[in-house]
Amino acid sequence: MIFLLFCKIFSRKSSLLLTMRYVDLHTHRKGDNKYNAQGTRYSVVNCAPTDELDGLRYCSVGIHPWDVAVGWHEDFERLKERVLLPQVVAIGECGLDKLRGGEWLLQMECFQAQIDLARMVGKPLILHCVKAVDEVMRMCVGVKCVFHGFRGKPELAKQLLGREFDLSFGERFNVESLALAWQAGRMWLETDESELGIEEIYERAARALRISPTDIVVPGTVSW
Interacting residue ranges for Zn ion, rule: CB under 5 A: 192
Read off φ and ψ for residue 130, nearest 5 degrees. Answer: -125, 115
- Say how far apart CA 149 and CA 204 lie, in whole Å: 15
Least distance to Zn ion, CB of residue 126, Å: 8
Residue nearest to Zn ion (CB): 192
CB of 64 to Zn ion, least distance (A): 8
> CB of residue 119 vs Zn ion: minimum separation in angstroms?
22
The CB-of-190 to Zn ion minimum distance in angstroms stands at 8
53 CB-contact burial (10 Å; exposed 0-12 / middle 13-18 / buried 19+): middle
Nearest CB to Zn ion, comparing residues 35 and 66: 66
**Positive or negative, the Cα torsion across 88, 173, 21, 5?**
negative
Query: Quick one: 177 or 190, whose CB is closer to Zn ion?
Result: 190
Our CB check for Zn ion shows the closer of 166 and 192 to be 192
Q: Is 7 exposed, middle or buried (0-12, 13-18, 19+ CB in 10 A)?
A: middle
Smallest distance, Zn ion to C-beta of residue 26, A = 6
Q: Closer CB to Zn ion, residue 170 or residue 219?
A: 170
**How many other β-carbons are positioned within 10 Å of the β-carbon of residue 207?**
12
Q: Identify the CA nearest to 157 among candidates 178, 140, 138.
A: 178
Could you give the CA distance from residue 191 to residue 70 in angstroms, rounded to a whole number?
31
Minimum CB distance to Zn ion smaller for 27 or for 87: 27
